[in-house]
């Protein structure tokens, strides 16, 4: 059985999803989870694109072990040097450089000919190779590149030292039979192809990114580039969980598998949802809320007799366990910590103390605390930002015949400010009070409330996406009271915006 490498680009291509910008702490949390998940390569960012990206890659390179850390670089000297600076501390590292090869891109975007694009690609692969062994090259817009020229470029960059050649369907244009045939042609025509791994990077504009990636595997591809939940530029990338579970479930057909620890899939999906604020549709394959719920009576009957009748994947195999009561009001710190360790969370003493305080408050209001509640509680720990603003008190009145009114007390630096505002509804009144106290002018892009578990005493989780200038961030808040959760989420988003200004 062949092993297909999983190259995760949630932190690079995934972050290019509108509103999914992440700070360094958030990127580090995702990178640690990706390492637990067992991905082979983490594309941690695009070093030259911003100081924040550079710092994130550098931090991840210093703290995340067991997987290759990669930085993206255009085929430019400055990009490659900057990438090297960012990743050099990582125990295992890679530079991923790329240049367009399609006629459309060369003619209209770069205004250079094929020979010049080839020359630049080779030269920059050589430069990257002077820093390290592991070099990946992508001919951007490969699926719209003339095949003869594409093969020529691939052969030349392998000669120059590229150890992985990635074939991107940059604009999500290809279809499975065609894409598979392309990989086959590359394997047949490129003389030195056995010296490199063929990777694929498919976009989902036609909903075919997973199918195209799998078709490539059938034709010899050895690495798939993907993201958790399929997030990414435009319609997104190939979704990690789909491609991994397709290979695992149908290994009889593919004769290939990955190094992914599938039991970590659900946790990875939730973490990415929480941090990016991008929810997964309920009917999403593998990680959607309905992916394992059977409604039809006939199906339920079959399942009760034997699971294999209608279930092709065991929910436990992706880390989805039956919701169970774990802790309550009387549970102590030790039980709390033990359960967190079982769930895979390692918290410092300080993080544990603050999470335990929040747990006690929630346990006062909610009889049973489920795993999902705990995850919501501790993941707040992972998404903390310096608190420029902190909520001190809130009271609200609203009713059928009265105007919704919110009174908020917020600490802004050293100062404690209180204001009363009215609004169209309680949430509107609260948000008005927050913007008036903090004197901020951000635009609310998205407001979403979810109940984490069932029951009217469930923890409510709120996501607020705010935009200010060209920055967009998502804030989170969890509380048994959704009004308080809403205020927390809005303030969390403002704190993230404030942290980015520093």
Under the rule (CB under 5 A), what is the footprint of Zn ion? 13
- Judged by beta carbon, residue 167 or residue 186, the one nearer Zn ion is 167
CB environment 336-353: b (16+ within 10 A), e (fewer):
bbebbeebebebeeebbe
Report, in Å, the least distance between residue 439 CB and Zn ion.
39
Q: How far is it, in rounded angstroms, from Cα 94 to Cα 1?
A: 26
Q: With 0-12 CB in 10 A as exposed, 13-18 as middle and 19+ as buried, what is 415?
A: exposed
- Judged by beta carbon, residue 243 or residue 452, the one nearer Zn ion is 243
Report, in Å, the least distance between residue 140 CB and Zn ion.
9
Contact 490, 473 (CB under 8 A): no
Report, in Å, the least distance between residue 183 CB and Zn ion.
17
- Judged by beta carbon, residue 199 or residue 362, the one nearer Zn ion is 199
Report, in Å, the least distance between residue 379 CB and Zn ion.
27
Report, in Å, the least distance between residue 247 CB and Zn ion.
21
Tokens of 247: 């290979």
- Judged by beta carbon, residue 122 or residue 200, the one nearer Zn ion is 200
- Consecutive H or E run containing 433: helix 426-438
Report, in Å, the least distance between residue 167 CB and Zn ion.
12
Q: How far is it, in rounded angstroms, from Cα 488 to Cα 486?
A: 5
- Judged by beta carbon, residue 236 or residue 319, the one nearer Zn ion is 236
CB atoms within 10 A of CB 304: 9
- Consecutive H or E run containing 385: none
- Judged by beta carbon, residue 171 or residue 275, the one nearer Zn ion is 171
- Judged by beta carbon, residue 216 or residue 291, the one nearer Zn ion is 216
Q: How far is it, in rounded angstroms, from Cα 186 to Cα 153?
A: 11
The CB-nearest residue to Zn ion is 13
Going across the sheet that includes 415-422, the strands are 389-397, 405-412, 415-422
Task: Label the pairing between strands 164-169 and 197-202.
Answer: parallel
**If phi over 0 gives left and psi between -120 and 50 gives alpha, with beta otherwise, what is residue 430?**
alpha
- The candidate with the shortest Cα–Cα distance to 6, out of 239, 229, 192, 165, is 239
Report, in Å, the least distance between residue 456 CB and Zn ion.
43
Q: How far is it, in rounded angstroms, from Cα 122 to Cα 153?
A: 8
Report, in Å, the least distance between residue 300 CB and Zn ion.
41
Decide: helix, strand or coil at residue 100: strand
Task: Label the pairing between strands 325-327 and 256-257.
Answer: unpaired
- Judged by beta carbon, residue 13 or residue 371, the one nearer Zn ion is 13
DSSP state of 312: S
Report, in Å, the least distance between residue 373 CB and Zn ion.
35
- Judged by beta carbon, residue 141 or residue 380, the one nearer Zn ion is 141
Cα–Cα distances in Å, from 43 out to 9, 12, 398? 5, 6, 48
Report, in Å, the least distance between residue 16 CB and Zn ion.
8
Tokens of 361: 């408050």
**If phi over 0 gives left and psi between -120 and 50 gives alpha, with beta otherwise, what is residue 197?**
beta
Report, in Å, the least distance between residue 336 CB and Zn ion.
41
Report, in Å, the least distance between residue 100 CB and Zn ion.
13
- Judged by beta carbon, residue 13 or residue 141, the one nearer Zn ion is 13
End-to-end CA distance of the chain: 51
- Judged by beta carbon, residue 13 or residue 79, the one nearer Zn ion is 13
Report, in Å, the least distance between residue 436 CB and Zn ion.
41
Residue recorded with tokens 């033990």: 338
- Judged by beta carbon, residue 233 or residue 375, the one nearer Zn ion is 233
Tokens of 408: 């908020």
215 phi/psi in degrees, rounded to 5: -65, -35
Q: How far is it, in rounded angstroms, from Cα 287 to Cα 280?
A: 8
CB environment 489-500: b (16+ within 10 A), e (fewer):
bbbbbbbbbbbe
- Judged by beta carbon, residue 199 or residue 378, the one nearer Zn ion is 199
């Amino acid at each position: 059985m062949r092993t297909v490498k999983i190259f995760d680009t949630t932190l690079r291509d995934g972050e290019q999803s509108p509103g999914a910008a992440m700070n360094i702490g958030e990127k580090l949390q995702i990178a640690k989870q990706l390492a637990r998940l067992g991905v082979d390569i983490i594309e941690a960012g695009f070093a030259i694109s911003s100081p924040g990206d550079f710092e994130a890659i550098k931090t991840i390179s210093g703290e995340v072990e067991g997987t290759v850390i990669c930085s993206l670089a255009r085929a430019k000297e400055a990009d490659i040097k900057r990438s090297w600076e960012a990743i050099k501390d990582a125990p295992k590292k890679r530079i991923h450089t790329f240049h367009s090869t399609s006629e459309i891109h060369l003619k209209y975007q770069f205004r250079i000919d094929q020979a010049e694009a080839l020359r630049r690609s080779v030269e920059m692969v050589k430069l990257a190779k002077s820093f390290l062994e592991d070099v990946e090259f992508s001919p951007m817009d490969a699926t719209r590149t003339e095949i003869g020229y594409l093969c020529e470029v691939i052969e030349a960059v392998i000669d120059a030292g590229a150890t992985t050649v990635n074939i991107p369907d940059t604009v999500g244009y290809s279809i499975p039979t065609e894409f598979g045939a392309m990989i086959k042609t590359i394997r047949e025509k490129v003389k030195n192809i056995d010296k490199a791994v063929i990777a694929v990077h498919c976009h989902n504009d036609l909903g075919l990114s997973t199918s195209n990636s799998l078709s490539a595997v059938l034709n010899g591809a050895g690495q798939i580039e993907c993201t958790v939940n399929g997030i990414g530029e435009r319609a997104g990338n190939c979704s990690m969980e789909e491609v991994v579970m397709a290979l695992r479930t149908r290994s009889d057909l593919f004769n290939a598998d990955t190094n992914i620890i599938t039991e970590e899939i659900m946790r990875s999906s939730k973490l990415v949802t929480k941090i990016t604020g991008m929810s997964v549709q309920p009917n999403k394959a593998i990680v959607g809320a309905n992916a394992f719920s059977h409604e039809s009576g006939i199906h339920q009957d079959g399942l009760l007799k034997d699971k294999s009748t209608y279930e092709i994947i065991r929910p436990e195999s992706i880390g989805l366990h039956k919701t169970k009561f774990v802790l309550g009001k009387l549970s102590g710190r030790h039980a709390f910590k033990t359960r967190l360790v079982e769930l895979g969370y390692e918290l410092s003493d300080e993080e544990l103390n603050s999470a335990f305080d929040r747990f006690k408050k929630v346990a006062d209001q909610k009889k049973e605390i489920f795993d999902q509640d705990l995850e919501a509680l501790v993941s707040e720990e992972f998404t903390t930002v310096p608190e420029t603003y902190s909520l001190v008190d809130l009271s609200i009145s609203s009713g059928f015949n009265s105007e919704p009114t919110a009174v908020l007390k917020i600490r802004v630096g050293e100062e404690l400010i209180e204001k009363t505002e009215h609004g169209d509804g309680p949430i509107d009144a609260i948000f008005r009070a927050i913007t008036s106290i903090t004197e901020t002018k951000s635009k609310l892009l998205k407001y979403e409330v979810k109940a984490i578990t069932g029951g009217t005493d469930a923890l409510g989780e709120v996501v607020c996406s705010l935009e200010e200038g060209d920055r967009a961030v998502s804030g989170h808040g969890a509380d048994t009271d959704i009004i308080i959760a809403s205020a927390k989420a809005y303030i969390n988003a403002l704190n993230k915006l404030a942290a980015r200004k520093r």
